[in-house]
Amino acid sequence: MANFTRRNFMSFAAGGTMMLAAGEVLAHDNDTKAYPFKADFPGPHDPLREQENKDLVNPPATDNGTLPNLRYSFSDAHIRRSSGGWTRQVTNRELGVSTTIAGVDMRLNAGGIRELHWHKEGEWAFMTYGNARVTAFDTDGGWFIDDISAGDLWYFPPGIPHSIQGIGNDGCEFLLAFDDGGFDEDSTFLLSDWFKHIPPEVLAKNFNVPVSTFSHLPSPKDEYIFAGKVPGDIASASPQKGKKSKQNFTHRMIQQSPIISAGGEVRITDSSNFPVSKTIAAALVEIAPGGMRELHWHPNNDEWQYYLEGQGRMGVFASSGQARTFDYRAGDVGYVPFAMGHYIENTGDTPLRFLELFKSDYYADISLNQWLASTPIELVKQHLHLDDQFMSALSAQKNAVVKNNL
């Protein structure tokens, strides 16, 4: 998989601006054919934002009710800059409905270090660009070190101390996901912060060194993400003391054999193939142009999404006659509350790639097509008043990503 960029977003935005000069917003009818919608906004408004969210401006006729917002862009998130890189977060403070998972987008320059730290929450991460070196220390006293690149991921259970460093010529960027929607970067347990809040004589007693050793400790404000030297090869950088951990905290997700469907492919990573990941399960989904993530729902938890590449739209059914449609592109976060039915269409002419994340140790979904195919025919007919052609088209085999070839 190529490195993920926002190139598709920028080219789309440029095209949208030219269209809006004529006072039009691109929308879609029920036959998915594009047509110009004359937006009547005589007061203040933002044409570019309206173009990016066309299904809010001119929603499908099937939308109804008052579902909460299920979309937020990292591009709208505050960036925290440091000497070694930057970070920004999307939590339930930015996306109120997101109670199960919070996300952080982090960039480390070459040599940039996310300092030694730990969390109360489990940390799951997906590399979107470049190369990184991660370290960890387990509860059995074992050390772990690994070099990873785009398409790889890691998981550090709650309380496990770890670090991340950008390596190679240009460092790295990655998505962090924490198993608590209320997570806050400032709640991290930092090594430098703790040292500054321990009396020097206690430090001296603990490490059996003179008190003067701790007279020039750095400020925690200068650490967090700080500039460092690009390390040597992993063999020379491995710890010389202690023992190697028996646990594997990293996983090559992109190297998994995908589940291939007519409209794209899916890679699933949970505790069945990445045993250490006990609180977050994930799927990496690719939808080809014209394809769609089939109508489905998840029976185990809410779904938190991160859009990596391309553009798409998601329709969500919340029961009680409520349904909404949202548009997404690279860098956006999507959310589907527990058990709500939904689909995701690729609305562009390039592949749509995104992550599905769940606060769970296993991945699960229910396919509408497969369910109906596995239900007595006459029972389905009496419910929906559909003909034999529809019944024959039902598939007892799950096809996660579909494409209509008619």
106-115, pLDDT tens digit by residue? 999 999 999 9
| Claim to verify: residue 179 and residue 296 sit in the same structural domain | no
| Claim to verify: residue 44 and residue 99 sit in the same structural domain | no
Q: Per the domain annotation, does 379 fall within a domain? A: yes
* DSSP strand pairing (243-244 vs 80-82): unpaired
Higher local confidence (pLDDT), 29 or 315: 315
Question: Is the pLDDT reported for residue 22 higher than 70?
Answer: no
For residue 36, what pLDDT band results from cuts at 50, 70 and 90?
low
| Claim to verify: residue 290 and residue 199 sit in the same structural domain | no
Q: Per the domain annotation, does 286 fall within a domain? A: yes
Structure tokens belonging to residue 377: 């025919």
Q: Per the domain annotation, does 70 fall within a domain? A: no
SS3 22: coil
Question: Is the pLDDT reported for residue 35 higher than 90?
Answer: no
Question: Residue 37: its pLDDT value, please?
Answer: 57
**Could you write out the DSSP letters of every residue in 353-371?**
EEEEEESSSS---EEHHHH
| Claim to verify: residue 87 and residue 214 sit in the same structural domain | yes
286 is in an annotated binding site: no
298 is in an annotated binding site: yes
| CATH assignment at residue 371 | 2.60.120.10
For residue 405, what pLDDT band results from cuts at 50, 70 and 90?
confident
117 is in an annotated binding site: yes
Q: Which of 44-48, 121-125, 323-327 has the lowest mean pLDDT?
A: 44-48
385 is in an annotated binding site: no
Region 359-387: what's the mean pLDDT?
Answer: 96
Measured at the CA of 259, the angle between CA 258 and CA 261, to 5 degrees, comes to 125
SS3 14: helix
Question: Is the pLDDT reported for residue 20 higher than 50?
Answer: no
Provide the number of structural domains found in the chain: 3
Question: Residue 32: its pLDDT value, please?
Answer: 44
Domain holding 21, by residue range, is 7-58
Q: Per the domain annotation, does 374 fall within a domain? A: yes
Q: Per the domain annotation, does 261 fall within a domain? A: no
Structure tokens belonging to residue 211: 């008190």
| Claim to verify: residue 92 and residue 233 sit in the same structural domain | yes
| Claim to verify: residue 126 and residue 86 sit in the same structural domain | yes
Phi, psi values for residue 356, rounded to 5°: -110, 125
For residue 23, what pLDDT band results from cuts at 50, 70 and 90?
very low
Residue 111 CB neighbours (<10 A): 18
Question: Is the pLDDT reported for residue 185 higher than 50?
Answer: yes
| Claim to verify: residue 54 and residue 107 sit in the same structural domain | no
Question: Residue 50: its pLDDT value, please?
Answer: 87
For residue 39, what pLDDT band results from cuts at 50, 70 and 90?
low
Catalytically annotated residues: 356
| Claim to verify: residue 133 and residue 53 sit in the same structural domain | no
Question: Residue 233: its pLDDT value, please?
Answer: 94
- Dump pLDDT digits (tens) for 269-307: 999 999 999 999 999 999 999 999 999 999 999 999 999
Question: Residue 48: its pLDDT value, please?
Answer: 87
296 is in an annotated binding site: yes
For residue 15, what pLDDT band results from cuts at 50, 70 and 90?
very low
Question: Is the pLDDT reported for residue 25 higher than 70?
Answer: no
Which pTM does this prediction carry? Answer: 0.89
Q: Per the domain annotation, does 69 fall within a domain? A: no
| Claim to verify: residue 20 and residue 105 sit in the same structural domain | no
197 is in an annotated binding site: no
Q: Per the domain annotation, does 394 fall within a domain? A: yes
Question: Is the pLDDT reported for residue 178 higher than 60?
Answer: yes
Region 259-278: what's the mean pLDDT?
Answer: 97
Question: Is the pLDDT reported for residue 17 higher than 60?
Answer: no
| Claim to verify: residue 185 and residue 304 sit in the same structural domain | no
Q: Residue 129 and residue 175: Cα distance in Å, rounded?
A: 10
Q: Residue 288 and residue 401: Cα distance in Å, rounded?
A: 9
| Claim to verify: residue 121 and residue 238 sit in the same structural domain | yes
Per cent of the chain over pLDDT 90 is 83
Measuring CA to CA, which residue among 179, 192, 178 is closest to residue 225? 192
119 is in an annotated binding site: yes
| Claim to verify: residue 238 and residue 312 sit in the same structural domain | no
Question: Is the pLDDT reported for residue 24 higher than 60?
Answer: no
Higher local confidence (pLDDT), 4 or 355: 355
Q: Per the domain annotation, does 375 fall within a domain? A: yes
